[in-house]
Amino acid sequence: MTNSENNNVLNNAENEDPCVARLDEYAGTLFAKKNRAFGYPINHKSRLVQFYKWLSGSGLNLAMANNAGDPFNIHDGLLNTLVFEREVIEMMGPLYGFDLGDTWGIVTFSGTDGNNHGIYFGTNYIVKKTKQRPVLYVSDAAHYSSMRLANLQNLELKLIPSDIHGCMIPEEFEKALVPDKPALVVFAMGTTFKGGVDDQAAINAILAKHPEIPVYRHVDAALFGGYLPYTRFKDVVYRKVQPFDSIAISGHKFFGIDEPAGVFLTSMEVKNNQIPFEISYLNASMPMINCSRSAMSPLKLWWILKHTTKEDFTEQSEGMLERAQWLKGALDEIGWPAWLEPMSNTVYFKRPVEEIADRYGLAPDHDDRLGGDLSHIVVMQHVTKDRLQVFVDAVKDSIG
């Protein structure tokens, strides 16, 4: 049987497969929702079409590769994509003020995985330096992963109240400081619902009053860390301006990987002060938490970074911010309460009727200071002005 005949048989078998029919139906449902998926920070404008054509043609999709190991200490005898993972870290590090040669990191499974590494690395670093475990300080508006991870890593947690904009209140941080214990501070660069950005300068000024307190700074920059380096706000995620020790950025949000993924970046100074865990069968130290890690996510992120120019990323970033401003203005015009924080692509507003909220996949929240039930729209690359106009018209029509 020729290859062509074999493919025809396979295709016919697939067409008769009830599993394929069910998957096709489900895929159609997802595609119908995709263009109006406004409530969560996902980039639905894929840059991976050609990647998947390459992948299926290369045969790599039929091999099992595993990035178990350190991308900066590669064991060539194993099937992995560590060389591409290292290139991703070296391409992204300078965006956040890390110097080549003084950068270490991995491609993570998610933003939570990145925060887990930031808190774990920070704790190990502080214990190595001081023989004390730190207190973790984070805003109550920050992503819940930091709170869960404090519990997971058995750290004392100080949850700092946030203001009406979703930002950590510096005065509350100062009141919460424990003077005789090291501090592990998690800065939220874009809080989950309101898009608030913690004031690093104000919090660092408070820490400067207490030079006796050893400090490790981790930045949770999941969504905002993707686009801020391409805007006039880039300094807030640039460690040579606003000092920090590690940062977590999502890959499936601004950058558009089609599965949860992210990047964790830190300095060699921090990496070299971790528990070494020398693993003989990997021929390397294993400072990271995970052993097995995805070999595909680094390839996808590498592909996107190699096929997108700085100018293109800048255009995407500025377009998102401009459309967010437009949406805020359009809601103001119809008299619908709405808010937008500086540096943010997230417009939050009075929650509309459930029919509209369901249609656009709008996440719920509640804040009595702003009148009660809220929703938000995260203006990503696929959220066009035309689609936003349809949403605004629906809200306007719902006003009795």
Residue 73's pLDDT is 85
Over residues 133-142, the pLDDT tens digits come to: 999 999 999 9
Over residues 299-343, the pLDDT tens digits come to: 999 999 999 999 999 999 999 999 999 999 999 999 999 999 999
CB distance 275 to 124 below 8 Å: yes
Mean pLDDT of the region 221-241? 97
Confidence of residue 86 (pLDDT cuts 50, 70, 90): very high
On the question of pLDDT at 6 being above 80, the answer is no
For the record, the structure tokens of 140 come out as 């109550």
Question: First CA to last CA across the chain, in angstroms?
Answer: 68
Confidence of residue 7 (pLDDT cuts 50, 70, 90): very low
Mean pLDDT of the region 278-284? 71
Strands 215-220 and 338-340 come out as unpaired
Residue 8's pLDDT is 46
Residue 221's pLDDT is 96
On the question of pLDDT at 12 being above 60, the answer is no
Residue 5's pLDDT is 43
Over residues 20-77, the pLDDT tens digits come to: 999 999 999 888 888 889 999 999 988 999 999 999 999 888 888 899 889 998 776 6
Over residues 97-125, the pLDDT tens digits come to: 999 999 999 999 999 999 999 999 999 99
Could you tell me which CATH number the domain at 62-306 has? 3.40.640.10
On the question of pLDDT at 1 being above 60, the answer is no
The answer for residues whose C-beta is within 8 angstroms of residue 172's C-beta and 6 or more apart is: 160, 161
- Domain assignments of the chain as residue spans, ordered by start: 62-306, 315-398
| DSSP secondary structure letter of residue 53 | H
On the question of pLDDT at 370 being above 90, the answer is yes
List strands edge to edge, sheet with 346-350: 338-340, 346-350, 372-378, 364-367
Q: Which CATH class is domain 315-398?
A: alpha beta
Confidence of residue 11 (pLDDT cuts 50, 70, 90): low
CB distance 90 to 246 below 8 Å: no
